[in-house]
Chain A
């Protein structure tokens, strides 16, 4: 499979074998993958909540840059892209359309 290299125009969604949801028992957001539980931190949760299969990476960065004015858009963009790229490399995020 070819590596998905993110650009600001890339539109991401969760891969079909990934679940991202709030867990009432643990009172925190969780990400489930085959035989794996990931515990995204607060920042990752905010980013992942904006991954909806419609919003581009650039638009996600814009939203967060408006929300957090203490960092520059460039700084936020670097962090967000790095995190999303890492999850795309692990197969958790994809730009494929749903079947």
Chain B
């Protein structure tokens, strides 16, 4: 009898554990992997290639806060080159419109923006005082209203 396992559909890529927020519910410790212990851009390029070869179709760039990685644009382009459908999971607190326009041009297809609360003061209370997580996220996604997925 031959056992057959369907190829994997998605890769959740925790690019970093660095994050400007301190949400108490987060599943990641504040500093699980230090920045110098993270995989390099070249190593992630290899992982993305191996994932695509295994049959992975979608890659979710997560963290930590993936926008803390300076090479995120290159990683999005690398994923796109390998036919991977890329998704950015972010709090929207780092970077903004300029970065997102570049990401979209590099092939980013989907953004998942996390909100701690619809009320800014409470959002800051959850994410850590003075983080302004709620407002910043709204501002940086404004030019992308067309790509908001309405099926969820």
Binding site for B on A (CB under 8 A): 1, 16-19, 21, 23, 25-26, 30, 32-37, 90-91, 96
Contacts and interface: CB of A to CB of B under 8 A. Distances in A.
B150 A91 contact: yes
A32 B55 contact: no
Given A16-B109, A21-B83, A34 B149 contact: yes
Interface of B: 7, 9, 53-55, 57-58, 83, 85, 87, 104, 109-110, 146-147, 149-152
A68 B152 CA distance: 38
B56 to A, nearest CB: 9
A17 B57 contact: no
Contacts, number: 47
A45 B7 CA distance: 22
A33 B104 CA distance: 15
Given A21-B83, A34-B149, A91-B151, A26 B55 contact: yes
19 contacts: A1-B150, A16-B109, A16-B146, A16-B147, A17-B147, A18-B109, A23-B55, A25-B7, A25-B54, A25-B55, A30-B57, A32-B57, A32-B85, A32-B109, A33-B149, A34-B87, A34-B109, A34-B149, A90-B151
Nearest to B52: A25
A23 B151 CA distance: 24
Contacts of A32: 57-58, 85, 109
